[in-house]
Amino acid sequence: MLGIVWDDKFKEIAFSHPMIKDIAKERIRRFIEIARQKLNFIEIKPEKATIDDLLKIHDESYVKKIEEVSKLPYIGFLDGGDTIHYPGMIDDVLLVLGASITAIKYSRFIEKIYIPLGGFHHALRQRAMGFCPINDVAFTALALLEKGERVAIIDVDAHHGNGLQEYLYDKSILKINIFAYDGKFFPGTGKIEERGIGDGKGLNYNVQLPLYSGDDVFEEALRILEIVPDFNPTYILIVGGVDGHKDDGLKSLNLSCNSYNLLGLKVRRISLNSKVIGYGGGGYGKMSSECMVSFLLGLEGKREEIEAKTFSEKEKIEKVKNEINLLLQGFS
């Protein structure tokens, strides 16, 4: 059974730069329309989080800053020029965080839950970053860990989930991050040798995709998911960012919707003994909504091909193949 955490207010929420804010909103609006046509799911209304909930994951000074800028009568930036603030923003932030709280509660009864407006993996404890005012995924992971659950995270996005890695680097949570990387592409983090420390030692995996990689490279990268069943998680959190699509406005990869459908199929296969909580992640292109639904169709076990498969140079395939082999040899 699939549950989608949904509130019509999601259609009007975007924390991204003003130049792409409307595109981000349109993705969420189109997603729910297409999902209602193609998917069988239960709609779950999110509760609103509290300031105390927010303080579990962010510093008090930063939370106060969000509260203060929410009272200003104009739009500005929370960070260096990516993540906006606007009048009444705090209410939207609490609704977004509340979606994760709701997902945790309902996961007792529903095996797979998806939050289309979520997956803000760049935010740090003390500041916003990369269109992310809060880190809802870290909140969920830590809340589940505190409950004694065994958590695995699969973070697939055009951009490395630097905030999520920082929060959980020393935690006994399996963390797999698949992203575009050339050493400079935002946020520029995610070295292969960063494997975790303390309780998280050996549990952090960064899979770097060469810029403009196609479906064939992505499929090769997904071999890393072989390690998930060995970890035996009770929960799998998946950030299914679709900003790696070939037509995305923040061009970085050359993926088609086929890759996201395959991701869903793979997650379904490795989650037979796990609950799944998924997040929509990033996406700023005309096919973003379709890719999100293709992922969920895969999660239901349905293959969908609405675009031609994309291909890469042999060198890119070999690079990722060697990378995955190296990481698989280091699993413990």
Q: Which amino acid is at 133?
A: P
279: part of which helix (H) or strand (E)? Answer: strand 275-279
Q: What strand order describes the sheet that includes 174-180?
A: 42-44, 2-5, 112-115, 275-279, 235-240, 151-156, 174-180, 204-209
122 is catalytic: yes
CA distance 17 to 83: 6
* Tally of CB atoms within 10 A around 196: 20
DSSP string covering 2-41: EEEE--GGGGG---S-TTTHHHHHHHHHHHHHHHHHH---
DSSP string covering 220-232: HHGGGGGHHHHH-
Query: What does the angle CA 229 – CA 165 – CA 205 come to, to the nearest 5 degrees?
Result: 40
CA distances from 304 to 16, 281, 291, 292 (A): 30, 20, 10, 12
Q: Among residues 121, 122, 160, 245, which one is catalytic?
A: 122
Give the three-state DSSP class for 252: coil
Active site residues: 122
